[in-house]
Structure 1
Amino acid sequence: MSKLPIAVAIFTILLTFSCQKKQETPLLALHVPEEVVLVDSSLITIPYSLALHPVSAAYAFEKERAVSEFYSKKIGLSDFSGSLLVAKNGKIIFEDYKGYANFASKTPISETTALHLASVSKVMTATLILKLVQENKIDLNEKVQTYLPDFPYQNTTVKTLLNHRSGLPHYSRFSESIKGWNSRKTLTNADVLDYLKRYKFALLAKNDTKFNYCNTNYAMLALIIEKVTEKSYAEAMREQIFQPLGMNDTFVIDFVNQKNEVSQSYKSNYVNHGWDQFDAIYGDKNIYSTPRDLVKFDLATYSSEFLRNDLWEEALKGYSYEKRGVKNYGLGIRIREWETGQSLHYHNGWWHGNTSSYTTLKKDTIVIIALSNKYTQKTYQAMKLSALFGDYPFELNDKE
């Protein structure tokens, strides 16, 4: 008798028995041990106490649909390379990532891809200054010369650097006043201070008389940070801001050693933007981060454990009222203040092909973050999403 029919018969019996056993075990009978904690991957937290309420699933679902519709029509089109994230109380309502961090290697942008924040970096520089005020290492009303003796303008204070009321000239325009300017030299923050000292350029306005947005202010603030901490700006930011908040994908670029490793900057059609002589200057720019890490930073602005409430209040109020208008500036943060009483805080950024938008709705505990490494102004449209979460005078369906 052949052994094959017997083997087939035995296999059939075993298979039938196995299937019956599987069918007898209900799918929902899976037991999860009590010590296992199911983590909500869409909830971002920080190690500081926060008086923020959980966000309901119904609320998140409703808002996600509205944000998604706006995103698909206004921002996340086929030519977009970047990210958008909207969160309330740390709960991610919407996030999406498109395009390439490096087009040549086809490295896609993901939730851990750090993009250049451009001038949104100023928000963090200002926060570190306030942390040092809290530690009694800096006085907001103290003269800059106290910390930087070579600084040539006697009346400029730390506060007027922060709120752009110093009247300092723009470092990007020094070449207009200096004969034989070397356009190939990569400038440092120390170079900017040295040029101010050597040439004593005329102020654009007397100290604290007029708002004039100027990157030189924040290059000087970075030097003050280094002077009082006795550490590099990058080290101080990492130790006082990034590490405490768990911003593990955020860093200040080491221009000499990292410029080929970081996400690249592009013109349209992924044409590489390249670098220029101002790319090594930091404080006003040069922080790379992700939307999820920026949510952690935003959560910290609601914590008095991270920074005292009175210092947050100093940062969030306006300082420039010599002209009537909606726009104002605090300490490292832009403000829109409407006559109807609404207000919001934000900062936009642009550097080469990178654009960024950080909008924080303090009354509604919402944060809206848009980043791109391929030049577009679509990132600035993200602020209009404020209208979905509070009484803000934006039109979601306008033609812009």
Structure 2
Amino acid sequence: MKMSLLKKTNIPQILFLILVLSSCGKDKKTTTDTVSAVEDTMPRMKPHAPEKRLSQAYINSVKGRINHFYTKNWPNNSMNGSFLVARNGQIIFERYNGYANKNEGTKITADTPVQIASVSKVLTATTVLKLVNAGKLDLDQKVNTILKTFPYEDCTVRMLLSHRSGMRNYAYFTDHDKSIWDRHNQLTNADILNILATKDIGLESKTGTRFGYCNTNYAMLALIIEKITGLKYKEAMSEIIFKPLGMTHTYVFDDDKDRKKIVPSYKGNGAEIGFDYLDNVYGDKNVFSTARDLLKFDRARNSPDFLKPALLKEVYTGYSNERKGTKNYGLGIRMINWETGQNFYFHNGWWHGNTSSYIPLQKENVTIIALSNKMTTKTYAVRKLAPIFGDYPFNFKDEE
């Protein structure tokens, strides 16, 4: 009798537990399915297909000239960083020298990530372009349709990419006036947007009227990436570029987490350069990478699968030539356009003591990369290697 009563009492409770557990299982599955759906629609870079192998005779024919340049540009192995030259994705020449951390006595190797400074803009632009290519974003979409508080109504995504927004550099308008920003506090991308929205920051020039290289453009593009993907910038970069390409030594710097473990930068005299209130802003800088990882990125960016042909053409169209000249800027890439029809694409970087140079010689399938964590302009001289591979009017003989 008691046993029968106990069974009757427990039946509703057991049924209730079954329903609750079943419901939890469904919720968990729904959440998992949602995450998977987001991941499945994420546009990802694809590695370049295997390229034609270089003959040893060809490698020998150019390696000596590259080595000659290297020893003249960085005598006695004085480079403090990474230097790589490749063709068809195959490394012809590479060198790694100097200290990753002088205090700890660690040396720079092929696996040492350093701050690539404004070369980060090429990667940020690449992620934006992949989103455009996938139909998740439009080049001529107004920024304020994505970032609702963005105050400049006429500014488009294309204008941010090509530095035609007319905005002022955040490093300048936050520098002196405490009513705008207290430099004792770390500045973030969201803070920059809030300042633009609330502090009546004037434009350098009317939106869309002229080129003005400005880091604020790419800080806003990073926020657009976050808004469109639903991921933090560092996560989106990892999902769209780093992971698919096997860039295992590349990451976006997080000042709150990475300050003690990154490779520091140095002045030309060897004194370490500390951090400042601008070090948490990303998109315009703050990608840490290696020459070998950037080579993987370059080959993927120059593969047939990168972008649809019409969009790719827009990337390499010049948007900054108000007056006739050779220097120009596309969508996240610098260029020199000579009257002969020859084009030279590149991007340089500088932040604190870090300097960087990324050069894709597209017609020749050549990649030239130089990264340094000790302040020097010699990083930028690597463009003089271009005449080894094609008809580029740089004076290589200056280095002979």
TM bucket (normalised to shorter chain) is 0.7 to 0.9
CA apart distance, 1:212: 0.2
Quick one: distance in 2 between partners of 1:347 and 1:209? Answer: 23
Note if 1:81 corresponds to 2:80.
yes
Quick one: distance in 2 between partners of 1:302 and 1:176? Answer: 39
The answer for the alignment partner of 1:273 in structure 2 is 273
| 2:320–2:328 CA contact under 8 A, matched in 1 | yes
The answer for the alignment partner of 1:305 in structure 2 is 305
| 2:86–2:92 CA contact under 8 A, matched in 1 | yes
The answer for the alignment partner of 1:295 in structure 2 is 295
Q: Determine helix, strand or coil for the equivalent of 1:182.
A: coil
Residues 111-120 or 315-324, more deviating:
315-324
Q: Determine helix, strand or coil for the equivalent of 1:270.
A: coil
| 1:102–1:264 CA contact under 8 A, matched in 2 | yes
Equivalent positions of 1:95-106 (< 5 A) are: 95-106=94-105
Backbone CA RMSD of aligned residues: 1.7
Return closer, same or farther for 1:120/1:77 CA change in 2, 3 Å cut-off: farther
Quick one: distance in 1 between partners of 2:257 and 2:61? Answer: 45
Quick one: distance in 2 between partners of 1:208 and 1:90? Answer: 37
CA apart distance, 1:92: 0.5
Quick one: distance in 2 between partners of 1:250 and 1:336? Answer: 28
**1:187-237 per-position Cα deviation (integer Å, ceiling 9, x unaligned):** 000010011011222211112210000000000000000011110000000
Note if 1:353 corresponds to 2:375.
no
| 2:47–2:296 CA contact under 8 A, matched in 1 | no
Equivalent positions of 1:180-259 (< 5 A) are: 180=179, 181-259=181-259
**1:69-121 per-position Cα deviation (integer Å, ceiling 9, x unaligned):** 10110135444200110000111010000001111111110000011000000
Return closer, same or farther for 1:318/1:50 CA change in 2, 3 Å cut-off: farther
The answer for the alignment partner of 2:140 in structure 1 is 141
**1:357-400 per-position Cα deviation (integer Å, ceiling 9, x unaligned):** 00111111111000000000010001110011000011123279
Q: Determine helix, strand or coil for the equivalent of 2:85.
A: strand
CA apart distance, 1:255: 1.2
Quick one: distance in 2 between partners of 1:60 and 1:296? Answer: 20
Return closer, same or farther for 1:287/1:74 CA change in 2, 3 Å cut-off: same
| 1:48–1:306 CA contact under 8 A, matched in 2 | no
The answer for the alignment partner of 1:109 in structure 2 is 108
Return closer, same or farther for 1:54/1:227 CA change in 2, 3 Å cut-off: same
Equivalent positions of 1:377-388 (< 5 A) are: 377-388=377-388
Residues 185-194 or 295-304, more deviating:
295-304
| 1:75–1:381 CA contact under 8 A, matched in 2 | no
TM-score by length of 2: 0.86
CA apart distance, 1:136: 1.4
Quick one: distance in 2 between partners of 1:77 and 1:166? Answer: 45
Quick one: distance in 2 between partners of 1:254 and 1:59? Answer: 43
Residues 277-286 or 68-77, more deviating:
68-77
Letter in 1 for 2:137: I
Letter in 2 for 1:384: K
CA apart distance, 1:49: 5.0
Quick one: distance in 1 between partners of 2:75 and 2:203? Answer: 42
Quick one: distance in 1 between partners of 2:248 and 2:229? Answer: 22
Letter in 2 for 1:255: D
Return closer, same or farther for 1:176/1:302 CA change in 2, 3 Å cut-off: closer
Q: Determine helix, strand or coil for the equivalent of 1:192.
A: helix
Q: Whose Rg is larger?
A: 1
Quick one: distance in 2 between partners of 1:174 and 1:146? Answer: 25
| 1:75–1:379 CA contact under 8 A, matched in 2 | no
Return closer, same or farther for 1:351/1:176 CA change in 2, 3 Å cut-off: closer
CA apart distance, 1:175: 3.3
Residues 184-193 or 316-325, more deviating:
316-325
The answer for the alignment partner of 1:30 in structure 2 is none
**1:333-372 per-position Cα deviation (integer Å, ceiling 9, x unaligned):** 0001112222110000000000000011111111100000
Note if 1:344 corresponds to 2:344.
yes
| 1:350–1:356 CA contact under 8 A, matched in 2 | yes
Unaligned residue ranges in structure 2 (runs of 5+):
1-44
Quick one: distance in 2 between partners of 1:50 and 1:326? Answer: 33
CA apart distance, 1:317: 1.7
Return closer, same or farther for 1:101/1:219 CA change in 2, 3 Å cut-off: same
Letter in 2 for 1:191: D
Return closer, same or farther for 1:177/1:156 CA change in 2, 3 Å cut-off: farther
Q: Determine helix, strand or coil for the equivalent of 2:278.
A: coil
CA apart distance, 1:321: 2.2
Equivalent positions of 1:135-174 (< 5 A) are: 135-174=134-173
Return closer, same or farther for 1:399/1:244 CA change in 2, 3 Å cut-off: closer
**1:142-191 per-position Cα deviation (integer Å, ceiling 9, x unaligned):** 00001000000000000000000110111011136735442211100001
The answer for the alignment partner of 2:30 in structure 1 is none
Return closer, same or farther for 1:118/1:76 CA change in 2, 3 Å cut-off: farther
The answer for the alignment partner of 1:90 in structure 2 is 89
The answer for the alignment partner of 1:331 in structure 2 is 331
Letter in 2 for 1:62: S
Quick one: distance in 2 between partners of 1:216 and 1:99? Answer: 32
Return closer, same or farther for 1:76/1:253 CA change in 2, 3 Å cut-off: farther
Return closer, same or farther for 1:109/1:51 CA change in 2, 3 Å cut-off: closer
**1:10-39 per-position Cα deviation (integer Å, ceiling 9, x unaligned):** xxxxxxxxxxxxxxxxxxxxxxxxxxxxxx
Quick one: distance in 1 between partners of 2:48 and 2:368? Answer: 22
Aligned length: 355
Unaligned residue ranges in structure 1 (runs of 5+):
1-45
| 2:175–2:183 CA contact under 8 A, matched in 1 | no
| 2:47–2:299 CA contact under 8 A, matched in 1 | no
Note if 1:263 corresponds to 2:227.
no
The answer for the alignment partner of 2:120 in structure 1 is 121
Runs of 4+ off more than 6 Å: none
Quick one: distance in 2 between partners of 1:114 and 1:380? Answer: 19
